[in-house]
Structure 1
Amino acid sequence: MAGSTFSVLGADLSIKGDITARADLHIDGTVDGDITCSDLVQGEASTIIGGVTAESARLAGTIRGSVNAATLVILKTARIDGDVTYDALTIEQGARVDGRLTPRASAEPKLSVAGGTEA
């Protein structure tokens, strides 16, 4: 996207409330609320308490809520307590998802497991 911006919420930030951004978002702090953005990168020490909706998401921290993303990468340090909806999904060995993994109805699901054969 031409002219797109990137916003960073540092590790020292704690936000209560929903976040809606047209920009790409990198979160290292704590968010207590729903997040809607284009692309999300979540740091290992980050915690999100609420739902996440993004075109692309790379998750490494803790999420307590649902995740809905077209392209989703769940790294080995990620802990998700909630249902996950995706078009394309990659899960590193060691990641934990406590919820349902559901492909979006509009696309043929693409699932890959990085670092092994088990999710």
Structure 2
Amino acid sequence: MANRSNDPGFSVLGADLVLRGALHAEADLHVDGTIEGDVVCKSLVQGEGSTITGSISAQSVRLAGTVEGPVEAAHVVILRSATLRGDVRYDALTVEQGAHVEGHFARRDGAGSPGLALIG
């Protein structure tokens, strides 16, 4: 019998997967496919060829593909291969030079230093 811990683990959605509907996971999530719906998870890593159409809410988000919808996370990283059309609410934000972003950025707490890093 397998030993189960309280760690929810890690889930991968492959490049051949198309998911229509909301996705709620307590696990870390790696997405290489297409999601048409809102995503709520602990941590999200998006592959370069993937597309998410809907809102994203997580503790940390690393975007490399296409996102159409708002993003809210404590830590947001937008890589140069990413295309984001939507507003971003964050505590700490990193945007690589070359990323395509259309939307507004706002800190979640609304105060303090911008928590922004631009990587060239």
Do they fold alike, i.e. is TM over 0.5?
yes
Partner of 1:90: 94
Say whether 1:14 aligns with 2:6: no
TM-score, normalised to structure 2, is 0.91
Structural mapping, 1:1-119, within 5 Å: 3-105=7-109, 108=112, 109-115=114-120
What are structure 2's unaligned runs of at least 5 residues? 1-5
Q: CA deviation at 1:96?
A: 1.1
What are structure 1's unaligned runs of at least 5 residues? none
Q: Give 1 or 2 for the bigger CA radius of gyration.
A: 2
- What is the rounded CA distance, in whole Å, between the counterparts of 1:87 and 1:31 in structure 2? 25
- What is the rounded CA distance, in whole Å, between the counterparts of 2:25 and 2:110 in structure 1? 24
- What is the rounded CA distance, in whole Å, between the counterparts of 1:88 and 1:107 in structure 2? 12
Q: CA deviation at 1:105?
A: 1.9
Pair 61,34 (structure 1): closer, same or farther in 2 beyond 3 Å: same
- What is the rounded CA distance, in whole Å, between the counterparts of 2:86 and 2:76 in structure 1? 14
- What is the rounded CA distance, in whole Å, between the counterparts of 1:65 and 1:111 in structure 2? 20
TM-score, normalised to structure 1, is 0.92
Q: CA deviation at 1:107?
A: 5.7
8 A contact 1:87–1:107 mirrored in 2: no
Q: Percent identity, please.
A: 55
8 A contact 1:30–1:48 mirrored in 2: yes
